[in-house]
Structure 1
């Protein structure tokens, strides 16, 4: 067998590390607890487990694709390198001044999150480039050398360089980098004109600072990982999943680690989009719930919605505006602190709150028996009968129901005069409503009606909660695909090689310059294609063109997709028509009599998506064989009911399961509520629909 047909996908999450090996179309997977001190240890452990299952030696692996939360966690926990920022004189405090928006408008005691770098870590040089890219004040080498000397004396490990309007003219940033590397060759350097060449200095400065802050940490980790895999006899190339839903080389990942910040969730969205394509679904709600967070993404026409700005490290209950804006291409999703490990407590208003704090894998929920004493969502699920204490994670982790009951009673029940079951019901309903509300808000912001959508659920905890979420959202159909418990890791194996290059060049349609536009887009196409070629030297590469447009005077723009012909033969009337068409879809009507402007130009180079085999959908056949029953709490009924237990690996095409039921497998358990019935499709997907509709 050709070794390149054996591929490994690895997703390091906040609680579990998921490892998937694909061999000749067959998937073998496992979940191991994340080892925070040395994340590579969990990867090696999981790799050995799946290799044994597949009957292959580690040296036979031909490709490894990796996604990780390490970059995100380093930003959240503020444990990156000692970093300095060099910026234009007069702009030292941009990352501290933020923008004028307040995420809690009427909170007089609002505390804004501290910038990543304190003021004494920010340095300035006398230089100035204007909004057209022309140099107004030349940068003097002596000024740079003075700053470099201060940086050397302070012992900084990494330096971020962000100058005003450098996205239009990077000459001064490049000069500072040259002098830094000449004087301090061991210092890591990031420049904003390469990391995020876009307008809006707050977002751009923040992005380059974040990149510099985590660059030494990620370079060290990726180096250790390569060495450990080499010790195991693995000589294949390692690739990283990036936030935009594609794969980049390990070297590009080390240079631009900020692009890895949402790599795990991006893999999940790719996984859901692949399932949507197999079922020819036009509207899909992707629901990914792991041990630490839940992620919700809208997927239309088998393509996840994307954005170019998102926030990490939100400090105020995951509220928009309370985090660090990162300006890079990213799959657009809403993320909340609701995972299996999310901790429940009672607040000063005597209300149950869940998350965003998580028990993680160390110590984990109380039921893990690892000295965790506070109740987590997993504890509530266990008390409500959703989990088998003797068969959690395929039996690799034994759960202790009495620990869950004690934690729920002690931290929730005694405060609210509830027994353990009532407390567990309250915790489960709060976390489910939090997720349902996040999905509703995300849908409204995008002008969508979720009743038209099909939910695809994956992640270790999602199948436990997806049925109830569908009841709350009015979603009729739910698909739980094979390998749902390790969906993001499988998504890595479905993702194309891709890289998006973008640049801010301001232009009004009244000043439309076709030849300049064509040259700009060709330059971006060459840049993006060059990155992809470092990963794949043979596959054809396609280019996807996008411009960000708005009416003059508006604060933000909307993305407009262009065909190759429209991009390579720019026409003012076509650009205007495309903008008005998309603007009207989003806001209901165009605005007459106003000029239109373009602020950002983008080209995504990508290899073709993996070919999809359509699923021949079938009707319900014979009843599935039961493997016993268990009392499970049904939230809609408000009481326990006797649910049948069905082993997922015993389900065949057409087998039907009447709710209430539990469909169990090694990585997760699917809860089929009383209001629903389930059926196994030909590809192994569990298709859950309202009673009477299948």
Structure 2
């Protein structure tokens, strides 16, 4: 019997909405309900109703006994991808009306001269100048003229603008004019949502700061009402505490605090995987992990070293730049719903287009006709036909065969089996490249990391990916299929603060080290005040300092986490990171401090999951079926095990299929599986002839 209070995490994916609950004794339950793209709120409530029904209690009882309800949503990302955001106006310093469209004139692929830049979110007639000018040191060159804002407000009113972004030159050094413009704008347009760059991204870099502010305004009119509506629905049904959201930085935040910066939710779902990585780190026996979280639409790769996840403040979503603190996640279109096709040149392709939850893969029987990775797994015997995810869907082998034969096998002159195998191999190459981008290109050797396969589809691709990487071992959490939803139950609250500094590291140390400490102390006072509002004080409130550093003359910075204000200590940390990334350092090079950063973390009580007593008996397969293992051995009569009855210290040798409630695992020829102390899966990967 479950014991309240509960922790609940809900993650909306492209195919399923996952809900994980953890009770007071550490018992875990996982549920999957089909996502509802047209109404994400309904997807969340469907998952809540499913959980309550399964537990034989009503929704009110379930929610009233929930002490922590954490949510991750792709609504901000989807608003940007689908171009369904607000009509945005932009106020800029006079003379800088076109900075947003000029960008930095840098192409992602220097060899592709024909691909157009993404559509500008604010057309030129809504990018209006304001008479004012701040210098880079924060001094006023041209005083602020409120009349120019009033004139812009009249244009915005006539054009039906729903949200306004304000981005003035050098506002990171002095936000006075932006604050005045916002106050003036509110007098004339009290119902229009307004965001200022000094509030959401007070950093150097005019284009990135402008783009971030515009995206924040663009998604606001869809994201904020959704969150308010969901929070109100949950509260009316009995939830006693404020809804928490997962941000791109991997930390949770209350909806009261997220209202001014909805753009910080663009990686809301995938970033929650950090909570799971931190939880499972001890069970893996390693502080160095690379996770591949393969869901219905994508594969998200995250790297953790020494127990700390890589962070970045530069992310790009559909060509739009956002300068916000985020977990460094590399994403490719390689999921269970990834659509396979044959292009005009007769080459097999996989992605980036996905089938989503509606109509979904062909085997779902919901009207989808194009073949996906899930269809290929079903044809190869890795998945079994019939009900899945508690009967939410039923997998049809006949429809999967028909889709692959029609769209892949026949056009390429292949058998259905070879076509399905080709789809799997191509997708696993894409996953491999994603892992290499997240590790090798950052100066890390992936073979020294433990690969963690997660997501509903990850455990089917994990062994092959580990083999391709040359990794000796693979770790698969029992909760792999609800990896991000579980991570939400283990995510601390987090707020990030930044202040531009733009001073020489050595000169700062000589002339005024106290200034650096004073700047951090001012940030800390603000951070502790925010944490206190969220209910975290004393030992529950933790602060972490970091610097954005670069050699003078360089454009890009390197983030270095360091609590010291000593110049030699900061230099050593910077040079270590620089050496790893680029293979050399400038021993006496002048280093510039560009930004000071502070992460304010509200620590939740650590989760302690209930342990299942180990069994001394050998695992027993409940059935056997032909499964395509790899291109070398093809189909093999393979034992199939029920993962829910496997416990710590039990072992298996592949080939084998293990069916869990939310995922399916495959072991290749000679792979050795050992159940860990916490009853998760550790796989020693067979290489060479055994593979």
Out of 118, 121, 124, the position equivalent to 1:119 is 124
Deviations 1:192-237 (A, max 9, x none): 1011111111111111111111112111101211222133222322
2: distance between equivalents of 1:517 and 1:216? 39
Match of 1:362 in 2: 358
Match of 2:685 in 1: 690
Match of 2:521 in 1: 522
Query: 1:449-598 to 2 correspondence within 5 Å?
Result: 449-512=445-508, 513-538=512-537, 540-563=540-563, 566=564, 570-598=565-593
Q: Is the 8 A contact 2:365 2:396 kept in 1?
A: yes
User: Is 1:430–2:429 an aligned residue pair?
Assistant: no
Query: 1:288-327 to 2 correspondence within 5 Å?
Result: 288-313=293-318, 323-327=319-323
User: Is 1:651–2:646 an aligned residue pair?
Assistant: yes
Match of 1:440 in 2: 436
Provide the TM-score with structure 2 as the length reference: 0.94
Out of 221, 235, 252, the position equivalent to 2:240 is 235
Deviates more, 1:154-163 or 1:103-112: 103-112
User: Is 1:629–2:624 an aligned residue pair?
Assistant: yes
User: Is 1:191–2:186 an aligned residue pair?
Assistant: no
Deviations 1:129-151 (A, max 9, x none): 11111111111111110001111
Mark the CA change 1:4 to 1:602 in structure 2 (over 3 Å): closer, same or farther: farther
Deviates more, 1:573-582 or 1:266-275: 573-582
Q: Which runs of 5+ in 1 are unaligned?
A: 314-322
2: distance between equivalents of 1:161 and 1:277? 46
Match of 1:377 in 2: 373
2: distance between equivalents of 1:312 and 1:544? 27
User: Is 1:47–2:43 an aligned residue pair?
Assistant: no
Q: Is the 8 A contact 1:15 1:361 kept in 2?
A: yes
Match of 1:9 in 2: 9
**What secondary structure sits across from 2:618 in the alignment?**
coil
Query: 1:19-168 to 2 correspondence within 5 Å?
Result: 19-24=19-24, 25-54=26-55, 56=57, 57-58=61-62, 59-168=64-173
Count of residues in Structure 1 that have an aligned counterpart in Structure 2: 679
Q: Is the 8 A contact 2:466 2:685 kept in 1?
A: no
2: distance between equivalents of 1:617 and 1:649? 11
Q: Is the 8 A contact 2:2 2:23 kept in 1?
A: no
Out of 673, 682, 687, the position equivalent to 1:678 is 673
Offset, 1:2 = 12
Offset, 1:615 = 12
Offset, 1:48 = 2.0
Q: Is the 8 A contact 1:3 1:62 kept in 2?
A: no
Q: Is the 8 A contact 1:291 1:341 kept in 2?
A: yes
Deviations 1:622-672 (A, max 9, x none): 531101111111124251111111001111222222211111022111111
Q: Is the 8 A contact 1:3 1:61 kept in 2?
A: no
Offset, 1:240 = 0.6
Mark the CA change 1:99 to 1:621 in structure 2 (over 3 Å): closer, same or farther: farther
Deviations 1:40-72 (A, max 9, x none): 111111112223444552222222111111111
Out of 219, 227, 240, the position equivalent to 1:222 is 227
Q: Which runs of 5+ in 2 are unaligned?
A: none
**What secondary structure sits across from 2:10 in the alignment?**
strand
Offset, 1:607 = 2.5
Match of 1:319 in 2: none
Mark the CA change 1:672 to 1:609 in structure 2 (over 3 Å): closer, same or farther: farther
**What secondary structure sits across from 2:572 in the alignment?**
helix
Mark the CA change 1:584 to 1:220 in structure 2 (over 3 Å): closer, same or farther: same
Q: Is the 8 A contact 1:495 1:610 kept in 2?
A: no
RMSD of aligned alpha carbons: 2.3
Match of 2:663 in 1: 668
Mark the CA change 1:202 to 1:652 in structure 2 (over 3 Å): closer, same or farther: same
Match of 1:269 in 2: 274
Deviates more, 1:264-273 or 1:284-293: 264-273
Offset, 1:184 = 1.3
